[in-house]
Every structure is written in C-alpha cells, then in structure tokens.
Amino acid sequence: MGSILCEHCPAACCRHVALPIDKPGNKRDYDDIRWYLMHNDVTVFVEDGDWFVQFQARCHNLGADNRCLVYETRPEICREYEPGSCDYAGGPYTYDHHFTHAKQIEEFYFKRTGKKLGKPTPPRRRPAPRKKKSA
C-alpha cells in the first residue's frame, strides 16, 4: 500500500494530557481523586501500577487533517513518543484501572477498605428571619 500510519491516525495522543500522580495511600488521597473525577473531561487511570490524571484537551497545534502544525519544532515530549506505543497502532488501550466517574473510585475504595469515601455534611440551617423593630 505504501501508506504510513500517521496518514490514518486520529491523533489520539494529541487530544489529551496525562500527568502522573502519587499512588493513593489514604482516604484523603482517594477523596482527592474523587474530586478530580467530579470535573468534566477528567479521568484517572492506572498503568503498570502507576497512577495518572488525564484531561481531555485538544492540542492547539493539531491541524484539521490530524497532522502537527509545528512538527519541526514540536516539544521534546512529542518527539519521545514512540510510534510502537501509539494508541492508534495498538488498538483499544487497556489500563490496570480506568476511572471516569466519582462513583467508580468510591466503589474501588470501598472494595479495598470496606469504608465509604466522604462524610455526610449536615444541611445548613438558615438563620431565623430578623424581626422588624417596632417604632
């Protein structure tokens, strides 16, 4: 065929940012992850035991044809990306764990500890209405 992989690539690697986070070690850590997952377009995944927070965000330099508009001067992190580990080449990507909603991390934590995340917050009481002073 003579075509190269990049000619058919949907540029999956250029549509998100994934940053390593510390492996959760206590209830507060898991609750922080629950907070991340309460935001739109944020997921958390575990790959080979390492934890990451991922933000769905399209690169400003991705052209309409899914090609890099600054390829010659692209950042080093892009240069280090190996075509063999490409999301497109590898088919469906598999994670040790992939959390897309707060409820999933709550269930994960409960299975590990038998405890629930978060603590109930008592409802706020409205202050009693002020009485008008009589003249």
Confidence check: pLDDT of 77 > 60: yes
- Predicted TM-score (pTM) of the model is 0.76
Burial of residue 33 (CB within 10 Å: 0-12, 13-18, 19+) is buried
Question: In terms of pLDDT, which residue wins out, 74 or 89?
Answer: 74
Is pLDDT above 90 for 122? Answer: no
> How far is the C-alpha of 134 from the C-alpha of 131, rounded, in Å?
9
Q: What is the dihedral of CA 61, 66, 72, 78, to 10 degrees?
A: 80
- Mean pLDDT on 30-45: 97
Give the model's pLDDT for residue 80: 85
Question: What is the mean pLDDT of the segment spanning 54-78?
Answer: 93
Tokens representing residue 125 in the block: 């009481």
Full DSSP string of 38-74: TSTTEEEEEETTEEEEEEE---TTB-TTS-BTTGGG-
What would the mean pLDDT of 67-79 be, rounded to a whole number?
91
**Residue 40: what pLDDT?**
97
Whether residue 24 has pLDDT greater than 80: yes
How confident is the model over 108-128, as a mean pLDDT? 80
Least confident of 6-15, 56-65, 81-90, 100-109: 81-90
Q: Cβ contacts of residue 117 below 8 Å, gap of 6+? A: 27, 30, 31, 34, 105, 106, 109, 110
Name the band, by pLDDT with cuts 50, 70 and 90, for residue 1: very low
**What burial class does residue 79 get, using C-beta atoms within 10 Å of its C-beta: 0-12 exposed, 13-18 middle, 19+ buried?**
exposed
